[in-house]
Chains A and B, each alone.
Chain A
């Protein structure tokens, strides 16, 4: 397609992106998110402490010039743990987002395109997955596969795909009857071609928005699981298990920096991602597409 690539006019995706950058809240969200990402990804290059270094002279100390955000009960640096925790949280959230988007898209797309029988069977299976009460399902799954980063990713991705597959299926059921898809079938297109060439580009808006918001909810789920002691296990840092420290009343009352910073980071990151997600949704809204 290289010969066709030059001098092509702005496609639907590019037009959506330019609408996105006109959206103030979304750009603000991005402006918060990018520094957070940069900080968490590069902290070990410029911050002297490691998350599990113990400074016995600074136990339960508040913010100071050496430990900017203070230190915890065993003398570990909160700043280092916060940034490492962000890394863990974002890793868990991003990977589980990728897995659940993949599963969700393919299950929904196959249900939508492969005919009535396949559709019926798959969607009953999706219904089944959706009827499982999430918290209990999480607890049972976590207690079976154990805790740690990989199991947490597994649990979160397994829980969140059904909603996406329903949205994708609904879109593709409508798409299937559109003339250009009928034309494609009329030229002999198989299921795979229809999925990749028509299904994917026409659900990209759903996928992008879902993926963004799924990162936010992945962070929250990870934090929730770790808070309950089922997610990322200490001494590995994550925002969830740092918040776990706030369960003790004397920490809650006397050492606010130990839970306020991870809590704040969680809120700010999730909010920023949600702004970006909302911005993307508005940018991809078909009603703003010139027909």
Chain B
């Protein structure tokens, strides 16, 4: 196995079983998802709510176990680690949460929050830990006196920066950012995105950036993966994907991005209805029930993810579009 890729995800799947004694259907949150991330690369993961973005992010961060498939991190298979190996792995992958109000314990000071990871991993002495926490705080542009205050004394954007600082204290190699800006005001979003971009470049971080906002992803990501109902619809280098989207779903998503240029008129495609239930997905192509160009053959077989142009993958049987 080559170590060309830093993170190799292959045929990843996650089913959520009904609760004990319940007779509900199994929810197939993620099915057969494969992608690779190079060291230092930022991969954007986009899709509607319910498309399995967060589930994939949490599996990559070892927070939930996949039902099937494998995740190789720096050449190491992570789905079969012992407890001690898993703890060491946790220091290398860190997670940034969507909701900055839920992600910080209201009963801990910022200092306690920031040294928690170092305590768990038993890194350094007590004073070294505090120094590292202060350093992380400085790297997200927060004043040093924040260290003895409580989370409720900060605004949403500040809290999100504390969340980022916490992820940085362990000096991780991979960061999973789960919609880090979607809970924030638009005015703060740019600030946080720039901060993340900055830190990523300065520290050479590899990042899995989850979002539902294509405009944010375009700015941050090198490669974009479009998800729908737990499956990859399209995967391409960011510029490619935005310039020439191949999959009808990606086209619909892109046509929904508002343009600041009033003279630019694109034919907007509006998707009708909701994302189907992952407990009862459509046969064949999962998108066919809302696809404007679906044909009968779409219901027949699950379309494979095929490479069209170099590095540009799509899961659609309609090659005759455009």
Contacts and interface: CB of A to CB of B under 8 A. Distances in A.
A9 B103 contact: no
A187 B94 contact: yes
Interface string A73-92: 00000000000000000000
A217 B108 CA distance: 33
B73 interface: no
B266 interface: no
Interface stretch (A96-104, A197-205, A266-274): A197-205
Given A116-B20, A183-B166, A188-B91, A4 B109 contact: yes
Contacts of A188: 86-91, 117, 120-121
Interface string B52-71: 00000000011100000000
Which of A178, A179, A189 neighbours the largest number of chain B CB atoms within 10 Å of its CB? Answer: A179
Nearest to B98: A179
A19 to B, nearest CB: 15
Contacts of B87: 188, 190
A201 B152 contact: no
Interface string B135-147: 0000000000101
Interface string A188-221: 1110010001100110000000000000000000
B191 interface: no
A178 B102 contact: yes
Which of B83, B94, B113, B152 neighbours the largest number of chain A CB atoms within 10 Å of its CB? Answer: B152
Interface residues of A, number: 33
Interface string B109-141: 101110011011100001100100000000000
A287 B132 CA distance: 35
Given A8-B109, A183-B95, A186-B94, A197 B116 contact: yes
Given A1-B112, A6-B148, A197-B116, A180 B105 contact: yes
Interface string A250-291: 000000000000000000000000000000000000000111
A234 interface: no
A180 B96 CA distance: 10
Q: How large is the interface on B (under 10, 10 to 19, 20 to 34, 35 or more residues)?
A: 35 or more
B63 A8 contact: no
Interface string A1-39: 101111111011000000000000000000000000000
A27 B127 CA distance: 41
Given A184-B120, A187-B90, A193-B120, A9 B148 contact: yes
A111 to B, nearest CB: 14
B149 A189 contact: no
A290 B152 contact: yes
Given A12-B150, A188-B87, A183 B103 contact: yes
A201 B102 contact: no
A4 B130 contact: yes
Interface in A98-118: 116
B33 to A, nearest CB: 20
A180 B119 CA distance: 15
B84 to A, nearest CB: 10
Nearest to B118: A187
B106 A12 contact: yes
A184 B120 CA distance: 9
Contact of A9 (B61, B99, B116, B149): B149
A218 to B, nearest CB: 28
A263 B147 CA distance: 53
A190 B121 CA distance: 10
B170 interface: yes
Interface string B263-290: 0000000000000000000000000000
A232 B35 CA distance: 71
Nearest to A10: B150
A4 B153 contact: no
A202 B166 CA distance: 20
Given A4-B148, A8-B148, A11-B150, A187 B121 contact: yes
A182 interface: yes
A184 B113 CA distance: 9
Interface in A162-186: 178-186
Which of A1, A182, A184, A188 neighbours the largest number of chain B CB atoms within 10 Å of its CB? Answer: A188
Contacts of A11: 107, 109, 150
A190 B102 CA distance: 20
A201 B108 CA distance: 9
Interface in A25-81: none
A-B pairs with lowest CB-CB distance, top 3:
A188-B90, A188-B87, A187-B117
29 contacts: A1-B111, A3-B130, A4-B147, A6-B148, A9-B148, A9-B149, A9-B153, A11-B109, A12-B106, A120-B20, A181-B105, A183-B103, A183-B163, A184-B116, A185-B63, A185-B90, A186-B93, A186-B94, A187-B91, A188-B88, A188-B91, A188-B120, A188-B121, A190-B83, A197-B108, A289-B106, A291-B101, A291-B106, A291-B152
Given A120-B20, A188-B87, 12 more contacts: A4-B112, A4-B147, A5-B148, A179-B99, A184-B120, A186-B90, A187-B170, A188-B89, A188-B117, A188-B121, A190-B83, A201-B108
